[in-house]
Structure 1
Amino acid sequence: MQRSIKVRPPDTILVSATDHGRLTGLARASLDRLPDTAEELLSEMDRATVATAGALPDNVVRMGSTIVARNGGGAEQRMTLVYPADADIAAQRISVLTPLGTALIGAQVGHCVQWTTRDGREMMLDIVEVLPPHADRT
């Protein structure tokens, strides 16, 4: 089966001003504890295009978004991108301070995100749907 989804170009990270500020602070505070992941998140924030929350399209992954993604074998999974304190792998609540979480932030429907797991495996997922966070989520 031929893939129609493109790998996310390096200049297509779009984040809200609120997420940008919070995530930059979180990454800086995590440099001692999780240096590799924190550095990657800082790198993503450095190259991100920052938009006001109202200008961010619904199909862009932001904090609190629920993402439907498909792996190379065609299996779909649903996950929600959260801050570390809210992470729960059994509930598919993925911390932004994981390699997958950092790869997801700012991605859009139609992109393929790639990341390296902490044990060195190369992984990728196609983003097929993004549900924006509920108004009561932070």
Structure 2
Amino acid sequence: MKYGSLIIEKKEYVYLKRILNISGYVEDFETQKSLQLLINELKNAQIVDETDMPDDVIRFNSKIRISSEKACKKNLELVIPSQQDRKKGKISVLTQLGAALFGHSKGDIMEYNFPSGSQKLKITDVKQEKSEKKISIKI
């Protein structure tokens, strides 16, 4: 991991904690697994101010390029649950892949369990939306 641990901006951290508190009652097993993964990841994350957020860290509205060890490449955008649109490559932070990617940075390699088996994924690029398009998170 490039920075030693996940890095999360303060307002996004508070927003995630709220989502996790509300979502604790979901019955879908896959969503429960995603939530537990995210809860565990947040325990050791570095929480930083907006001004201290590195540009290459995956956060809300980040455009991400990943590649697998089987040479599969995919472009994604990480979004809040209500903006998920798989056809457009927009994945929710509450999906298993979204939860696994959140807070990681460009160059990180991670193990991910696909239905077809475990594979290593490399985050090959991370781009941030312009600040006026960033999600507005009220605390």
Of residues 111, 127, 130, the one that matches 1:131 is: 127
Of residues 110, 117, 127, the one that matches 1:121 is: 117
> Deviation at 1:107?
0.6
- Cα RMSD, aligned residues only: 1.9
Within 5 Å, which residues of 2 pair with 1:23-38? 23-33=16-26, 34-38=31-35
2:88 is matched with: 91
Question: Which stretches in structure 2 are left out of the alignment for 5+ residues?
Answer: none
Of residues 4, 7, 12, the one that matches 1:14 is: 7
TM-score by length of 1: 0.85
1:41 is matched with: 38
Question: Which stretches in structure 1 are left out of the alignment for 5+ residues?
Answer: 1-7
Greater percentage in helix: 2
Of residues 106, 109, 113, the one that matches 1:112 is: 109
Structure 1: 4+ residue segments shifted above 6 A: none
Aligned length: 130
Percent sequence identity over aligned pairs: 22
Amino acid at match of 2:134: R
> Deviation at 1:75?
3.0
2:65 is matched with: 68
2: CA distance, partners of 1:130 / 1:9: 13
